[in-house]
Amino acid sequence: MYKRLSAVMFPILLIALIGTGVWGYQENREKNTVLIKAENQYQRAFHDLTAHMDKLHTELGNTLAVNSGSHDMYRKGLVNVWRITSQAQNEISQLPLTLLPFNKTALFLDNISKFSYRTAVRDLSKQPLNEEESKALFTLYERAKEIRDELRGVQDQIIANNLRWMDVEVAVASQGQKLDNVIVDGFQLVDQKVSQYPEVDWGPTMATVNQDKSFSALSGDEVTAEEVKQRAVQFLGVQDDGSLQVNENGAGTEANTFSVSGVKPGTDREVHLDYTKKGGQLIWYMAPREVTEKTIDLRAARDSALEFLDHHGFSTMAPVSVDEYANVASLTFANRINDVVVYPEKMVVEVALDNGEVLGLHAADYVLEHKDREIGKPSLTEEEARKSLNTQFEVTGTRLCLIRNDMDQETLSYEFTGKVNGSNYKIFINANSGVEEKVEPLRQQDVVAAQ
């Protein structure tokens, strides 16, 4: 009997064993294929990064060699610097450096990108590089050479020792152990050198870019946790029953805030509010719930948001755009001063599309940007500004607004909405010079929200 059973089971087990072996081989082969592909991508990104750092140094040198009066050549060189830097940033994002301290180098490249772009787009015949900007360009040239040389050193070791980028992830993942990896050590050395560089004097081009906006710069006195709690209770329109708790965040830092959380008194709904410690201003409110159906349209949601803002002292806000997800409308509003829409002073209101209830308010941008502004009169009339538009552009609406242009300068502009080539757009024309500052696509839902 056992012989018969063995005669039957042996072929079956043999087939199963062979099948398991084949399956295991295929799985291992597929895994190796994925690893090889990932390794090849890492190698390509790193070698491209090294090549682009070499090109960046060369292009900075070429730009410095150009006569300062050759504005077109200067602009061409700066555009090339911006393009190469953008490519280098893209390659850094493709490397497994998430957990490595390479942020200083990435920030350095980001500043080069912003400096070169903002300098290139301005009229160099009227605003040539000043002494500080010329010195900054030379400093970038020297530092680009140092970074290039360090990366070349890492590249030489990778090639000579046939090192793998996949080992970087293993080395980084070895928490609590001493990292012993040539690639990791090389990138740490580069970032350490960059962090030791003295601050670059970028000149006026980067003056506004590198101004960190922080809550500590706000006006007003510092508030206490109890004062914040009372402001939250007043905002919610309830009586304090002790169910709300206040916690301080980032004590001693520029992002010092208070968080209020708990069950809204008189309800079973959780609420969350954040206030700045300096000035005690509300920057965030959320009363989340699931919205299972949509029974009101975006126009009704906008009206509900406007009523909410008016009730809480923001009666001058104008709707500018709207997004919709999970039956919730997310409406962006900008402040309006003397019929001028001030885009930097914006906030977002989230409205449930089942009953129009406001579920959230994001006001950090408004709080950081709100200030006394003297908005002058436009030098151009609306009709004069229209002459800068494409002759095929069909204007459907116009209003004055304050925007930030590509130089990060606040600019009084005419905002023309309309259609061309079958699509809707917003075109911003400088109200003093007639220059076309920005062009943005305009979605139909934004048109509805703004009406």
pLDDT digits (tens, 9 = 90+) for 291-345: 999 999 999 999 999 999 999 999 999 999 888 888 999 999 999 999 999 999 9
Which of the following CATH numbers is that of domain 382-450: 1.10.760, 1.10.357, 1.10.860, 3.10.450? 3.10.450
Higher per-residue confidence, 23 vs 36: 36
Highest mean pLDDT among 18-27, 137-146, 311-320, 401-410: 311-320
- The predicted model gives 15-32 an average pLDDT of 58
pLDDT at 394 over 90: yes
Higher per-residue confidence, 429 vs 219: 429
Phi and psi, residue 100, nearest 5°: -95, 145
Q: Tokens 């130089």 sit at which residue?
A: 407
Which residue from 90, 70, 92, 83 is spatially nearest to 112, judged by alpha carbons?
Answer: 83
Q: How many CA atoms lie within 13 A of 196 on its CB side?
A: 8
Which residue from 376, 445, 382, 443 is spatially nearest to 416, judged by alpha carbons?
Answer: 382
Provide the percentage of residues in the chain whose pLDDT is more than 70: 78
pLDDT digits (tens, 9 = 90+) for 74-90: 888 888 888 888 888 88
Q: Which residues contact 143 (CB under 8 A, 6 or more apart)?
A: 108, 194, 197
Tell me the domain boundaries of the chain: 24-206, 217-369, 382-450
Contact predicate 335/410, CB 8 Å: no
Q: How confident is the model at residue 451 (pLDDT cuts 50, 70, 90)?
A: low
pLDDT at 211 over 50: no
Q: Which helix (H) or strand (E) holds 273?
A: strand 270-276
Please state the length of the chain. Answer: 451
Predicted pLDDT at 82: 86
- The predicted model gives 364-381 an average pLDDT of 89
Q: How many CB atoms lie within 10 A of CB 154?
A: 20
Choose the weakest-confidence range: 59-63, 65-69, 279-283: 65-69
CA 54 vs. chain centroid, Å, equals 28
Cα–Cα dist 356/303, whole Å: 9
Q: How many CA atoms lie within 13 A of 448 on its CB side?
A: 14
Which tokens belong to 104? 């200083």
pTM of the model: 0.63
- The predicted model gives 396-414 an average pLDDT of 88
Helix 166-173 with 182-195: angle, nearest 10 deg? 70
- The predicted model gives 94-113 an average pLDDT of 71
Predicted pLDDT at 353: 94
Higher per-residue confidence, 189 vs 45: 45
- The predicted model gives 365-394 an average pLDDT of 91
Q: How confident is the model at residue 427 (pLDDT cuts 50, 70, 90)?
A: very high
Q: How many CB atoms lie within 10 A of CB 158?
A: 19
- The predicted model gives 163-192 an average pLDDT of 62
- Backbone region of residue 441 per phi and psi (left: phi > 0; alpha: psi in -120 to 50; beta: other values): beta
pLDDT at 28 over 60: no
pLDDT digits (tens, 9 = 90+) for 235-276: 998 887 788 888 887 776 666 788 898 888 777 888 999 999
Q: How confident is the model at residue 412 (pLDDT cuts 50, 70, 90)?
A: very high
pLDDT at 71 over 70: yes
Mean pLDDT of the chain: 80
